[in-house]
A and B are shown apart, each in its own frame.
Chain A
Amino acid sequence: MGNLLELRNIETYYGPVMAIRGVSMDIPEGKIVSLLGANGAGKTTVLKTISGAMEPQKGSVTYAGQPIQGKDPDWVARRGVAHVPEGREVFPFLSVDENLQMGAFSRSDNKIRQDIDMVYSYFPILKDLTKSQAVNLSGGQQQMLAIGRALMLRPKLMLLDEPSLGLSPRLVQEISKIIQRLNSEQGVTILLVEQNAKMALNVGHYGYVMEVGRIVMEDSCARLQQATDIQEFYLGMKEQGVRGRRRWKQRKTWR
């Protein structure tokens, strides 16, 4: 199968700051592609550039054969790209059910109720919380809600930004399984951004590694797991370094 998404020489700026320095990536249809990298490498910016929240100064984003760079994010979403941003961006004062309904805002078919039940079958906890306001959910539940809401779009491509962040190891396990099931059962192509390299390499088929705005390595996830650099910098360091960082990240998302 061909590529659902192709990035070619993307350069994206925050004002004068160049965050992405010529990134090219291929996301084959039906696959899970993992994007690894340390804090500030530019992973989130890549996703924002794909979903239209940011416009690249240079380069092209081709989705399903069509250039989409510079389009509004709602336009991109309506064409089947569901971005689940970092930090569990739910609609805090809407109920769980309403959050899911909003995920289907652009749809006019009559399968919406059915898809909400499908989301509840992936995340049974949410079913007991249908009437609760999203703000009252735990962090893990909000993350599930954000993923579930993205599913309501019936996306062809899902952009997941650090879904495991701040979750317990058990929940990380659970989310990994769900990501794999979404890919195999729903046929959703997934671009997964993670600092949790172990999880990302287990789940993904193909992987890219980013450092300060550039892709520095790419290979199948199986081979990346064997690469000594990766073992040293991303898998080995996990025990102390990323933990501490993770706690800091958690606070950042409180805002």
Chain B
Amino acid sequence: MEVLQLFISGISQGCVYGLIALGFVLIYKATEMVNFAQGDIMMLGAYVAITFINIWDWPFYWAFPATVLVMAAVGVVLERVLLRPMIGEPHFAVLMLTIGLGFVLRAAAGAIWGNEPRALQTPYVGEVLRLGEAVIGYENLAIIIGTTVLCFLMWVFFRFTRVGIAMQAASQNQLAAFYVGIPVKRMYSLVWALSAAIAAVAGILTAPVSLVDPLIGFVGIKAFAAAIVGGFGSMPGAIIGGLLIGVVEQFAGLYLPPGFADMSAYVLLLVMLVIRPQGLFATMQKKKV
């Protein structure tokens, strides 16, 4: 039964990796930029939620959408102010910019909210669901359900809505997208809004489980590994890669000597790069610019 228990915790942790990975992949697919601040944007989302809920006493179910909206706006501002002027600059310059952005966000969070870990107050904390002998905390359940719902919404958005299809179009063939009149630059803003909003959801969901401090954004590194395992550029791949790393980590923690759990994500990444360098979901797509 311990196996089931571990598996569920792994899935729940993996969902968080997967959501952050999804943010990486969205931005990469659309703009060919890698946003290394993705984890720190999640951290910022968690703090915005803490501000609304713990400090301003807003009800959780209002604060949740409010946080997502605020973070979407933050995403747009970041894209407009920082990234758009970088169009056409070398990739490493953009990379350095987003790494620098991560430093700034961590320092700012420390200055505003302090470095002490804080817990986000949620209406569901402490409750558990029993599945035979396995016990799932409601906060873990919330992560799994939240991620599932979000993935479904994303699928509907990209598959069926006009704007979602246009975002796919712009990432598949940027030039052709311009020529049919799709406002490609606005699509970039939208992609940043979307990935910041997803990061915010990840932040809110994970905050009750792992306390919030300015450094929680470093899970972004594991999420990055998850995105690569999934085949950087594939959205389902990002989620599956996240789940895989989450589960492997749990079992490594039990069966391997201490310390291996934190390493296992990168071992998995290395193994993946050796046996299947294109990732789980190879994206055949070659970009035309």
Q: Of A85, A94, A98, A255, which contacts B175 at CB under 8 A?
A: A85
Q: Of the candidates A77, A93, A98, A255, which one forms a contact with B179 in the assembled complex, judged by CB atoms under 8 Å apart?
A: A77
Closest CB in chain B relative to A13 CB, distance in Å: 15
| B178 lies within 8 A of A255 (CB) | no
B178 touches A149 (CB 8 A): no
A72 to B285, CA, bound (A): 26
Contact among B169, B173, B178, B183 for A53, CB-based, below 8 A: B178
How many residues of chain B are within 8 Å of chain A by beta carbon? 21
CB pair B168 A94 closer than 8 Å: yes
Cβ of A73 within 8 Å of any chain B Cβ, yes or no, is yes
Chain B residues, Cβ within 8 Å of A102: 165-166, 169, 177, 180, 182
B180/A103 in contact, CB under 8 A:
yes
Q: Given A105-B162, A255-B286, A92 and B173 touching (CB < 8 A)?
A: yes
B276 close to A (CB within 8 Å): no
| 8 A Cβ contacts from B170-213 to A | 172-173, 175-185
Q: Is B130 an interface residue (CB 8 A)?
A: no
Closest to B166 in A: A105
Q: Are A105 and B182 in contact (CB under 8 A)?
A: yes
Contact in complex: A91, B176 (CB < 8 Å) = yes
Q: Flag whether A78 is at the interface (Cβ < 8 A).
A: yes
Q: How large is the interface on A (under 10, 10 to 19, 20 to 34, 35 or more residues)?
A: 20 to 34
Which of the residues B181, B185, B286 comes within 8 Å of A105, measured between beta carbons? B181
**Across the interface, which residues of A come within 8 angstroms of B183, CB to CB?**
74
Within 8 A of B (CB), among A203-255: 255
- Of B168, B180, B185, chain A has the most CB atoms within 10 Å of the CB of B180
Cβ–Cβ contact A101 & B168, under 8 A: no
A89 sits at the interface (CB 8 A): yes
Residues of B within 8 A of A51 (CB): 179
Nearest A residue to B159 via CB reads: A98
Residue of B nearest to A104 (CB): B180
- A149 to nearest B CB, angstroms? 6
* Residues from 241 to 289 in B contacting A, C-beta threshold 8 Å: 285-286, 288
| A82 partner residues in chain B, CB cutoff 8 A | 179-180
- Separation of A216 and B72 alpha carbons in the complex (Å): 54
- Candidates B168, B181, B184, B286; contact of A106 at CB < 8 Å: B181
- Complex interface: chain B residues within 8 A of A53 (CB): 175, 178-179
Q: How far is the CB of A59 from chain B (nearest CB, A)?
A: 21
Distance in angstroms from B274 CB to nearest chain A CB is 28
Q: Shortest Cβ distance from A70 into chain B, in angstroms?
A: 14
Contacts of A153 in B (CB 8 A): 180-181
Q: Are A72 and B180 in contact, with the CB atoms below 8 A? A: no
Binding site for A on B (CB under 8 A): 162, 165-166, 168-169, 172-173, 175-185, 285-286, 288
Interface on A for B, CB 8 Å cutoff?
51-53, 72-74, 77-78, 82-85, 89-94, 98, 101-103, 105-106, 146, 149-150, 152-153, 255
Can you report 9 residue pairs joining A to B where beta carbons are below 8 Å apart?
Answer: A53-B179, A73-B179, A90-B176, A92-B173, A94-B169, A102-B169, A105-B166, A149-B180, A152-B180
Q: A53-B175, A91-B173, A92-B285 are in contact. List 13 more A-B contacts (CB 8 A).
A: A51-B179, A73-B178, A83-B179, A85-B175, A85-B176, A89-B179, A90-B173, A94-B165, A101-B165, A102-B169, A103-B180, A105-B162, A146-B176
